[in-house]
Amino acid sequence: MLSAFPGDPLFYLAAIPAVILLGLSKGGFSGLSSLAMPLVALAISPVKAAAIVLPILIVQDWVSVWAFRRDWDLRNLAILAPAGAIGVAAGWLMAARVDEQAVRLAVGLISVGFVAFMLLRDRLASAAATEATVAPGLFWGAVAGFTSFVSHTGAPPTMVYLLPQRLTPRIFAGTSAILFAIVNLLKVGPYFALGQFSRDNLSASASLLPVAVASTFAGVWLVRRVSAERFYVAVLALTFLVGVKLIWDGAWGLWG
């Protein structure tokens, strides 16, 4: 476990690939961000890792909001955003009161769950189109807020709810971008309360921002030239393996 950064090469060995994945995800390879937090959580506390990544995500989110500012669904946002706030509050309570190893275990379970969802996604997409209904939206929105707070992996629960609606790609992307721009801003206060926005953490975030911006542009360029299918297979395999490692570490720390 790392304790000193920025400047620690082992921290950046995990953080730089994670931030590159975040940038590629924002640039068009949606879903690659699933591996980012588990990678950083291998090196440092999951809560600390999430706090370092959060300012980077906020910058990227608002770029996405500007890009999709005319393409979003009001009803879905009206359902998902308040539910996301409840999920963020639940994640805050967990991070503040639960052992760090339990958070690591949760991140691992979320990662493995994401892989399972991605493997089932085609079945969801092939079912009959659904509508934006309140009860499922409140449930999945709360789950998304919770998983987003714990490990910045709110996309899978949101996709479970939005994909069956068969929204147009731009409406889907715009609704997701605005939702997570709101959710990520809601996390700022709780992370301050947890004492995670220290000078060292913010310095680490600032040092990684150029990598985040460059990798976002790289994603835009690569998405037109690289086989996304092979890329996703590799990322899903790595996400599963890292998730299993975090589950092992968290379970061993709690009960070993």
**Average pLDDT of 224-230?**
66
The more confidently predicted of residues 53 and 8 is 53
Picking from 67-76, 95-104, 195-204, which range would have the lowest pLDDT averaged per residue?
Answer: 95-104
Residue 206 structure tokens:
């600032």
pTM of the predicted protein model: 0.78
Average pLDDT value over all residues in the chain: 81
Q: What is the pLDDT of residue 3?
A: 45
Q: 91-110, pLDDT tens digit by residue?
A: 888 877 777 678 778 878 88
**Rama region for 227: left / alpha / beta (φ>0; ψ in -120 to 50; rest):** beta
**Where does 28-99 have alpha helices with state H?**
36-41, 46-67, 74-97
Picking from 183-187, 206-210, 249-253, which range would have the lowest pLDDT averaged per residue?
Answer: 249-253
**Average pLDDT of 1-22?**
74
The confidence band for 4, taking pLDDT boundaries of 50, 70 and 90, is very low
Q: What is the pLDDT of residue 73?
A: 94
- In this predicted structure, the answer to whether residue 256 has a pLDDT above a threshold of 90 is no
In one letter, which amino acid is 73? D
- In this predicted structure, the answer to whether residue 79 has a pLDDT above a threshold of 90 is yes
Distance (Å, rounded) from C-alpha 157 to C-alpha 153? Answer: 9
The confidence band for 119, taking pLDDT boundaries of 50, 70 and 90, is confident
Domain ranges of the chain: 9-255
Picking from 5-19, 97-111, 113-127, 239-253, which range would have the lowest pLDDT averaged per residue?
Answer: 113-127
